[in-house]
Amino acid sequence: MKPLAFFFFFLLFFIPLGAFWNPADSLVLSGEILSYSADFRDDGSVYLAALIDEGGTESVEFLRSEDHGLSWELLYSHALSVFPQAVKFVTGNNYHDFHFLLFSDGGSGLYLLRFPGDFGSPFEEIQIYEGQVIENSIELTKGWGPDFSLGCAWLNGTGQDDTIFFALSGDYGENWELASWRFGGIPDVIKLVEPHLSLALDGANNFYLALSGAHFFPVEDSFEIFIRRSEGGIGGSWSTIRVTNNSVPDIYPQIAVGSDTAESKIWVAFSHFDDGNYDLYTAYSSGGYFEIDLLSAFQDLDEYPADMCSVEYVEQSYLNLVIIEEGDEQNRVEWSYCYGNQPTLWASPEYVAEGAISLSDPLWPVLSFAPGSPEAGALVFYCDTEGIHVDAPWFPGVREGEASAVRFPFLIENSEGVFRVTALRPGYYRLYLYDAAGRAVGRWNFERRLEVPLERRGAFFYRIEGGAEEWTGKVLIFE
């Protein structure tokens, strides 16, 4: 074989596609960043909202990427004086065409700004709560049920009198139902350790709030991870679940919940103090006890989970986790993932970036899912003195026309809003189709050929069953 031909042969067969797909980190937004948050839509677009200091005035910049983070478009800028409070952002989907920004000025309450999808008409300001909100304690998330919902949580009070408030909206942020939970006389949790909270909703609008609390005196030796959970929505019954029970501190929990409510799949990542350092652990439960495993540990380095994201489709969750290693001079950001069918098996953390990366609470790295990417992948955002950067780590997601260890016996086509499946060998098959959030679109039986018209565009995931085999993949539907 000629040297040049061998070189191309080597590139094609021995270098993974991820090596080409994973571009160098790009600077998304420069300036003095005060807080930022990211979210995605079903069509694969990713949105970023950032609160920046413009020399005495603050504004929120809204940006969008439609090519998996390779390029970004500034959509809108909105003056907002909330410093030093954090802002949290959630975007709707194609059929819930709003953008939502949660913020607090600390003293007067908690507010939601609702912007139209194209930012073309005036925004609406909605006051969710009137009263004190503890700095940087706000959390905002969206549910994964058939009807769009928003959930948020925040802290009020100080020390022994801390109260956690919860709020749920089922009408795109116009009206909110509130619930609260006060520390002190609560069994197991007598005091909140620090204001870090992590919130998730499942497909039935049940709340899952992870926190680090103390359950006996002396408080300094009893930091444990707890989950405050609702059953039957915000107005149903509430319970407190203890995840850890150690004699040394467990702090900074991050939580993710599978959108399938049948098994109540819960993941938690947290830092556990051991031998002079904080090591990174993960915990998983499908409704019973939590199985806890060490993910990463290094001598003379403290490791913290920065963000966690679960997106479920094809009856399988792809769960991503961003990790921070805190060093003496430089901080390192890493990333790991697991599959929902192996919920306790995490990949070894992979390098994302290192340097003077911000570790203040509203500037920790942020994770978002990008369903429109060639890989079913993640985007990792991090902030330093330059501004906000983004990295697209390679992700071993399913690709159209491929199946692991099985020859793919179908021709998959997509044109003019129609999803076509043609079987290349005789048989009886069943197709399951899901949108990017894991919601079932439908199922169909076929033998040779199937055409499924789809009224909306976006990323869709499918599972085909035939006999004892099954195949999964992804398709993008365009107008």
Give, in order, the Cα–Cα distances in Å from 292 to each of 243, 266, 280, 284, 309. Answer: 9, 12, 11, 7, 18
State the CB neighbour count (10 A cutoff) for residue 130: 10
Q: How does pLDDT run across 25-57, given as a tens digit for each residue?
A: 789 999 999 999 999 887 778 999 999 988 878
230 inside domain: yes
Q: How does pLDDT run across 191-250, given as a tens digit for each residue?
A: 777 778 999 988 788 999 999 887 765 555 568 899 999 988 899 999 888 899 887 889
**What average pLDDT does this structure show over 413-442?**
77
Task: Output phi, psi for 192, to 5 deg.
Answer: -80, 135
Among the three residues 356, 391, 426, which one is the final residue of a domain in this structure?
391
User: Rounded CA gap, 90 and 437, in Å?
Assistant: 14
Specify the 3-state DSSP secondary structure of 194. coil
Whether 201 and 230 have beta carbons less than 8 Å apart is answered as no
Specify the 3-state DSSP secondary structure of 221. helix
What percent of the chain is predicted at pLDDT more than 70? 78
Give me the number of domains the chain comprises. 2
User: Rounded CA gap, 36 and 230, in Å?
Assistant: 28
Strands of 215-349 (E only): list them: 223-231, 237-242, 250-257, 266-274, 277-285, 291-296, 302-313, 316-326, 331-339
Q: How does pLDDT run across 6-16, given as a tens digit for each residue?
A: 333 333 233 33
Q: How does pLDDT run across 324-351, given as a tens digit for each residue?
A: 888 777 888 988 888 666 788 888 888 8
Q: How high is the pLDDT of residue 476?
A: 65
Residues 414 and 326 in one domain: no
**What average pLDDT does this structure show over 276-287?**
90
Residues 120 and 262 in one domain: yes
Instruction: Tell me the CATH number at 431.
Output: 2.60.40.10
Stated as kind and residue range, the H or E segment containing 420 is strand 418-423
Q: Give 318's pLDDT tier (boundaries 50, 70, 90).
A: low
Q: Which residue has the higher pLDDT, 37 or 70?
A: 37
Residues 291 and 329 in one domain: yes
Vertex 425: Cα angle to 420 and 431 (nearest 5)? 40
Does the pLDDT at position 1 exceed 50? no
**What average pLDDT does this structure show over 168-178?**
94
363 inside domain: yes
The separation between CA 267 and the C-alpha centre of its own chain, rounded to angstroms, equals 12
365 inside domain: yes
Q: Which residue has the higher pLDDT, 72 or 345?
A: 72
Q: How high is the pLDDT of residue 6?
A: 39
Q: How high is the pLDDT of residue 307?
A: 92
Whether 112 and 102 have beta carbons less than 8 Å apart is answered as yes
6 inside domain: no
Specify the 3-state DSSP secondary structure of 62. strand
In sequence order, what are the beta bridge partners of 281? 270, 294
**What average pLDDT does this structure show over 275-303?**
89
Instruction: Tell me the CATH number at 347.
Output: 2.120.10.70
User: Rounded CA gap, 307 and 304, in Å?
Assistant: 9
Residues 367 and 469 in one domain: no
> Which residue range is the domain that position 212 belongs to?
28-391
Whether 81 and 107 have beta carbons less than 8 Å apart is answered as no
